[in-house]
Amino acid sequence: MSAWWFTAFVLAVGFERLAELVVSNRHAAWAMARGGREQGAGHYPVMVVLHTGLLVGAVVEVWALDRPFRWWGWLFGALVVLTQALRWWCIRSLGQHWNTRVIVVPGMTLVRRGPYRWLSHPNYVVVVVEGLALPLVHGAWLTAAVFTVLNALLLRVRIRVEAAALTEASASPPMTAAEPRR
C-alpha cells in the first residue's frame, strides 16, 4: 500500500467521522428537547482535537518520516474496518440516546442491547483499538503511541463524567411520554 492509498484510507475514516457528527448532532438536539443536560462539556474540545490529531498525525508521520508499509498493515486495516462496524453497531443499539457528548435525559433507562449487553463502554473499546490500528496500517507507531497515552488520560475523565451523569439521571423521576421537560 502506498502512502497515497493510506492517505485515502485515513480520509475515508475522516468522512465516516463526519457522518457520525451529523448523527450525533441530530441525537443531541433530540435529547436536549427532552430535558437532557450536557455534562463534562469542558473535555469535549480536547476530545475533538485528539481525534483530529490521530487522523492528521498518522498521515503526517507516514509522509514526513517515510514510514514503509509492511504486510501486517493489512491486519491492522482489517481491524480498522471492524472497528467501524462495531462503532455503528453501538450507534444503532443506543439509537436516539447516542451522541458524541455526555447528554443524559433524566428518567430514561439504560440501554442494554447490542454490545451494551456485554460491555458498559463498547464504543471506547472501538476508539482504543482504532487509535492503535489506524496509524499502524502504515507503520505510524509514534502517532499510535501518543494517541493511546493521551486517549487513556481522556477516557479516565470521560468515563467518570459519564458514570456521574448516568447516576444522576437514574435518580431523577421518570418523564411522562406526553410532556418532555424544557
pLDDT in tens, 138-153: 999 999 999 999 999 9
- Cα separation, 131 vs 148, in Å, equals 6
Is pLDDT of 28 > 60?
yes
Number of structural domains the chain divides into? 1
In a domain, 182, yes or no: no
- Cα separation, 47 vs 34, in Å, equals 25
Instruction: With beta carbons less than 8 A apart as the criterion, state whether 110 and 132 touch.
Output: no
In this structure, is the dihedral angle defined by the CA atoms of residues 4, 48, 36 and 112, taken in order, positive or negative? positive
In a domain, 179, yes or no: no
**Hey, which bits of 13-114 come out as E strands?**
37-38, 103-104
Residue range(s) defining the domain that contains residue 104: 3-171
- The one-letter amino acid at 26: R
pLDDT in tens, 90-136: 999 999 999 999 998 888 888 899 999 999 899 999 999 999 999 99
- Cα separation, 136 vs 148, in Å, equals 12
In a domain, 123, yes or no: yes
In a domain, 152, yes or no: yes
- Mean pLDDT along residues 38-56: 97
Higher pLDDT, 114 or 175: 114
- Cα separation, 91 vs 99, in Å, equals 8
- The CATH number covering residue 38 comes to 1.20.120.1630
- The one-letter amino acid at 79: L
In a domain, 177, yes or no: no
Three cell numbers at 133? 490500528
Q: Which of 15, 82, 100 is nearest to 55 (CA)?
A: 15
